Amino acid sequence: TPPVCPRCSAARPGGEPTIFSKIIARSVPATILYEDEKCLVFRDVAPQAPVHFLVIPKRPIPRISRVGPQDTELLGHLLVVAARTAQAEGLADGYRLVINDGKHGAQSVYHLHVHVLGGRQLGWPPG
Protein backbone atom coordinates (compact mmCIF):
# COMPACT_ATOMS: atom_id res chain seq x y z
CA THR A 1 0.00 0.00 0.00
CA PRO A 2 1.23 3.53 -0.69
CA PRO A 3 2.31 5.62 2.30
CA VAL A 4 -0.41 7.74 3.88
CA CYS A 5 1.80 10.81 3.55
CA PRO A 6 4.52 10.34 0.88
CA ARG A 7 6.14 13.66 1.82
CA CYS A 8 6.26 12.51 5.46
CA SER A 9 7.88 9.19 4.54
CA ALA A 10 10.60 11.05 2.64
CA ALA A 11 11.29 13.61 5.41
CA ARG A 12 14.43 13.09 7.50
CA PRO A 13 15.78 14.97 10.52
CA GLY A 14 19.04 16.88 10.21
CA GLY A 15 20.92 18.04 7.17
CA GLU A 16 19.91 21.18 5.33
CA PRO A 17 17.96 23.99 6.99
CA THR A 18 14.24 23.24 7.09
CA ILE A 19 11.62 25.35 5.38
CA PHE A 20 10.72 26.66 8.85
CA SER A 21 14.30 27.83 9.48
CA LYS A 22 14.09 29.65 6.16
CA ILE A 23 10.79 31.27 7.17
CA ILE A 24 12.35 32.41 10.46
CA ALA A 25 15.29 33.87 8.48
CA ARG A 26 12.80 35.54 6.08
CA SER A 27 14.42 33.85 3.07
CA VAL A 28 11.08 32.17 2.32
CA PRO A 29 7.84 34.18 2.49
CA ALA A 30 5.04 33.35 4.91
CA THR A 31 1.93 35.04 6.25
CA ILE A 32 3.09 35.79 9.78
CA LEU A 33 0.42 36.19 12.44
CA TYR A 34 2.62 36.66 15.51
CA GLU A 35 6.27 36.77 16.50
CA ASP A 36 8.26 37.18 19.68
CA GLU A 37 11.78 36.31 20.80
CA LYS A 38 10.90 32.62 21.29
CA CYS A 39 8.46 31.71 18.53
CA LEU A 40 6.84 32.48 15.22
CA VAL A 41 3.24 31.89 14.10
CA PHE A 42 2.28 31.71 10.43
CA ARG A 43 -0.49 30.37 8.20
CA ASP A 44 -0.10 26.86 6.79
CA VAL A 45 0.48 26.94 3.02
CA ALA A 46 -1.73 23.85 2.56
CA PRO A 47 -4.55 24.44 5.05
CA GLN A 48 -6.54 21.43 6.24
CA ALA A 49 -9.27 23.57 7.83
CA PRO A 50 -10.68 27.07 7.24
CA VAL A 51 -8.19 28.34 9.84
CA HIS A 52 -4.85 26.51 9.95
CA PHE A 53 -1.69 28.03 11.33
CA LEU A 54 1.57 26.78 12.80
CA VAL A 55 3.36 27.79 15.98
CA ILE A 56 7.09 27.06 15.88
CA PRO A 57 9.97 27.71 18.24
CA LYS A 58 12.73 29.85 16.77
CA ARG A 59 15.26 27.46 18.28
CA PRO A 60 15.19 24.37 16.08
CA ILE A 61 14.05 21.25 17.91
CA PRO A 62 13.61 18.40 15.42
CA ARG A 63 10.83 16.46 17.19
CA ILE A 64 8.63 16.62 20.28
CA SER A 65 10.17 13.28 21.30
CA ARG A 66 13.57 15.01 21.55
CA VAL A 67 12.59 17.65 24.11
CA GLY A 68 13.95 17.63 27.63
CA PRO A 69 13.36 19.36 30.96
CA GLN A 70 15.17 22.44 29.64
CA ASP A 71 12.34 22.87 27.10
CA THR A 72 9.45 22.98 29.59
CA GLU A 73 9.07 26.77 29.59
CA LEU A 74 9.33 27.00 25.80
CA LEU A 75 6.69 24.30 25.27
CA GLY A 76 4.30 26.08 27.62
CA HIS A 77 4.96 29.32 25.79
CA LEU A 78 4.12 27.71 22.43
CA LEU A 79 0.76 26.52 23.80
CA VAL A 80 -0.11 29.89 25.33
CA VAL A 81 0.75 31.62 22.04
CA ALA A 82 -1.36 29.04 20.16
CA ALA A 83 -4.36 29.77 22.40
CA ARG A 84 -3.97 33.55 22.12
CA THR A 85 -3.60 33.40 18.35
CA ALA A 86 -6.62 31.10 18.07
CA GLN A 87 -8.64 33.68 19.99
CA ALA A 88 -7.34 36.47 17.74
CA GLU A 89 -8.29 34.37 14.69
CA GLY A 90 -11.89 34.10 15.91
CA LEU A 91 -11.86 30.45 16.98
CA ALA A 92 -14.15 30.96 19.99
CA ASP A 93 -16.11 27.78 19.17
CA GLY A 94 -12.98 25.65 19.54
CA TYR A 95 -9.99 24.33 17.66
CA ARG A 96 -7.56 21.44 17.58
CA LEU A 97 -3.86 21.43 18.47
CA VAL A 98 -1.73 18.77 16.75
CA ILE A 99 1.95 17.87 17.08
CA ASN A 100 3.12 15.16 14.68
CA ASP A 101 6.21 13.18 15.70
CA GLY A 102 8.33 11.09 13.36
CA LYS A 103 7.48 9.06 10.29
CA HIS A 104 4.56 7.16 11.83
CA GLY A 105 3.19 10.41 13.24
CA ALA A 106 3.25 11.92 9.72
CA GLN A 107 5.83 14.59 10.58
CA SER A 108 6.80 16.26 7.30
CA VAL A 109 9.18 18.96 8.59
CA TYR A 110 11.73 18.09 11.27
CA HIS A 111 11.38 21.33 13.19
CA LEU A 112 8.91 21.05 16.09
CA HIS A 113 5.61 22.72 15.23
CA VAL A 114 2.12 22.92 16.64
CA HIS A 115 -0.71 22.86 14.10
CA VAL A 116 -3.79 24.86 15.12
CA LEU A 117 -6.88 23.95 13.09
CA GLY A 118 -10.38 25.36 13.38
CA GLY A 119 -13.15 27.30 11.75
CA ARG A 120 -15.44 24.28 11.34
CA GLN A 121 -16.56 21.17 13.23
CA LEU A 122 -13.60 18.78 13.16
CA GLY A 123 -14.11 15.02 12.99
CA TRP A 124 -12.96 12.37 15.46
CA PRO A 125 -11.01 10.19 15.44
CA PRO A 126 -8.34 11.86 13.30
CA GLY A 127 -6.25 9.80 10.89
Provide the edge-to-edge strand list for the sheet that holds 32-35.
32-35, 39-43, 51-57, 114-118, 95-98
Average pLDDT over residues 102-106: 95
Can you give the C-alpha Rg of the chain in angstroms?
14
pLDDT of residue 12: 56
**Is 41 among the domain residues?**
yes
pLDDT of residue 30: 98
pLDDT of residue 126: 82
Report the number of distinct structural domains present in the chain: 1
Assign 57 a pLDDT band (cuts: 50, 70, 90). Answer: very high
**Residue among 52, 111, 113, 115 flagged as catalytic:** 113
> Which CATH number is 87's domain given?
3.30.428.10
**Is 105 among the domain residues?**
yes
113 flagged as catalytic: yes
- Give the closest residue to 38 by CA, choosing from 22, 23, 58, 53: 58
Q: Is the pLDDT of residue 114 over 70?
A: yes
Q: In which element (H, E) is residue 78 found?
A: helix 72-88
Question: Which domain does 80 fall in, by range?
Answer: 6-118
Q: Is the pLDDT of residue 8 over 80?
A: no
3-state secondary structure of 66: helix
**Is 1 among the domain residues?**
no
**Is 16 among the domain residues?**
yes
